[in-house]
Amino acid sequence: MTRKLPSRDEVIDALEELAQNGVAGPGTAALFDVGTTEFLKYFEREVFDELVANGGSTCKIFEGAYGSGKSHLLQLLQESALQRGMAVVRTDLSQALNLEDWHLITKHVLQNIEWRSNFGTVRSLPRVLDAVRREPWAKTEAVKSSAMAHPGFARAISLACNPDTLLYDGRVLLGQFLQGERVSAAALKACGVLNVKHPLSKRNAELVLKTILSTLRAIGVPGTLLLFDETEKTFAFNRANPPRKVVVGANLLRRLIDASANGSLVSAVIVFAVLQDFVDNCGFAYAALGQRLRRAPTGTPVAWRWPVLALDAVNSAPEPKDFVKALAARHESVLQGCGVHANGARREFVEAGMMTISRHAGSEYKRYVVKKIASMALDHLS
């Protein structure tokens, strides 16, 4: 699928989103990206096009403060994966939805997984399966002969890919089952849906997640991208005595990382964009996890293959002045693409950006600068 240029109205909508929230809306992050181009090319080539395309999986963690560009990076990765035909799920980690409860996270995956075709983007596992099965390349029979971690879910996915023999009520219940609802085997059987049992629960959540990834790959989806954005501190605790729920969450994260390394997760990329101290707190809560979350040693060149990276390490414009200049040039280019040739706009953007930094010193300056320059660009379009 080719990426079409945005219309003037779409640019205005995107700038309004930026001016209000400091974060680009879905599908527009690349339009306003500054400094991430080379890393994104690397990630697409090394991870999406080579590792995942050959059935491999990996887990990456990016660290940054509030407003430092975590959500922006995830937007870029999300759009790139969707363009490649991958399935994508984005999860905002908070105290309400955290790593302790993989039952809730897996249910979120089932209900919010996205996939894009030439006909648009669909969301939820039943809708994704229905869209994929209509593609001429879909291998809908492959699930029947594959051994999956959760046979009941595998059977449900197989039926969803071949629904012609099901009655309407059976399709409805099957859809609820595939979205993590507690639908009993007896209720399904009464509607003619056989051998689908053991709905999502706390006990089988990991098995369900592995089955989703494996079956999507089996039917022809090239891979799945799981994005986790820590929007508030989820691993903040007294390090002398970490609570049990933190230890449980850290252990589950360790198992997820191990599964991506040992092959039990198929064609999956798991990306965490986390706040500062998340990684260190993980190590205090669960030493075995801390051993897996390695950063580049101090004083050595940062390689993008390290599992834990600071956001500045993947950006070619980490210094405030460089960021402002690049962002100003980007917005000027967007205006020109809309037919607006505002003389002196770039200089105005730079001056306003530097003034904004002086008022918001610290690691959170980027979001304030983005909002200010986006607001000024909107004025030129009005």
User: 19 and 125 share a domain?
Assistant: no
pLDDT digits (tens, 9 = 90+) for 133-163: 999 999 999 888 778 999 999 999 999 999 9
User: 217 and 265 share a domain?
Assistant: yes
How far apart, in whole angstroms, are the C-alpha atoms of residue 282 and residue 279?
Answer: 5
Cβ within 8 Å of residue 88, ≥6 positions away: 78, 81, 82, 113, 114, 115, 224, 225, 227
User: 25 and 59 share a domain?
Assistant: no
User: 30 and 79 share a domain?
Assistant: no
pLDDT digits (tens, 9 = 90+) for 270-300: 999 999 888 888 888 888 888 888 887 776 6
User: 104 and 227 share a domain?
Assistant: yes
- Tell me how crowded residue 154 is: count the other CB atoms within 10 A of its CB: 23
**Please, are residues 59 and 256 in contact by the beta-carbon 8 Å criterion?**
yes
User: 274 and 232 share a domain?
Assistant: yes
Q: Which of 299, 314, 329 is the last residue of a domain?
A: 314
pLDDT at residue 3 above 70? no
Tokens matching residue 267: 């064609």
User: 76 and 205 share a domain?
Assistant: yes
Structural domain that includes position 76: 36-314
pLDDT at residue 382 above 60? yes
What is the average pLDDT score of the chain? 91
Question: With bands split at pLDDT 50, 70 and 90, how would you rate the model's confidence at 2?
Answer: very low
Q: Which of 293, 314, 335 is the last residue of a domain?
A: 314
User: 341 and 305 share a domain?
Assistant: no
User: 96 and 140 share a domain?
Assistant: yes
Candidate from 56-65, 154-163, 233-242, 288-297 with smallest mean pLDDT: 233-242
Total tally of structural domains belonging to the chain:
2
What pLDDT, on a 0 to 100 scale, did the predictor assign at position 1? Answer: 43
User: 230 and 357 share a domain?
Assistant: no
pLDDT at residue 374 above 50? yes
What pLDDT, on a 0 to 100 scale, did the predictor assign at position 244? Answer: 85
Mark out the alpha helices in the chain (DSSP H runs). Answer: 8-21, 37-43, 70-83, 102-112, 125-133, 151-161, 168-178, 185-190, 205-218, 244-262, 278-285, 287-292, 320-337, 345-359, 365-381
User: 184 and 200 share a domain?
Assistant: yes
User: 219 and 322 share a domain?
Assistant: no
What pLDDT, on a 0 to 100 scale, did the predictor assign at position 172? Answer: 97
